[in-house]
Amino acid sequence: MSEPLSPAEHILGPRPGLTLVIQDARVVEIWVAGRAPRISLRDHDWGETDPHALRDRDGLPFTPINWRLPAWALGLSLHPPE
């Protein structure tokens, strides 16, 4: 049984599903709607020192990164750094 659509989903269509494949407490695969997505990052840490940083809607600088390597190479972990 599927959930009823929200008012926004009636206009935009159903939201895609996100699947994170976890192995050894690391994200090794990312799937959106059954496909490996193009991954874009907005790095606010680099944005402060990037001379050509873009700004988000709150005016904070960020550096856009278009990730082309496998998802596991991002180093996403389920645990915060120690």
Average pLDDT, the chain: 87
Max Cα–Cα distance, the chain, nearest Å: 51
User: Which pLDDT band, with edges at 50, 70 and 90, does 1 fall under?
Assistant: low
2-54 pLDDT tens trace: 678 888 888 988 888 999 999 888 888 999 999 988 899 999 999 989 999 99
Question: Other C-beta atoms within 10 Å of 30: how many?
Answer: 19
Q: How confident is the model at residue 73 (pLDDT cuts 50, 70, 90)?
A: confident
Number of domains in the chain: 1
The strand ranges marked E within 10-72 are 18-23, 26-32, 39-43, 54-55, 61-67
Query: For residue 29, what are the domain limits?
Result: 16-74
Q: Confirm if 5 and 25 have CB atoms less than 8 A apart.
A: no
| Residue 33 lies inside a defined structural domain of this protein | yes
Contact predicate 27/74, CB 8 Å: yes
CB distance 76 to 27 below 8 Å: yes
Is 9 among the domain residues? no
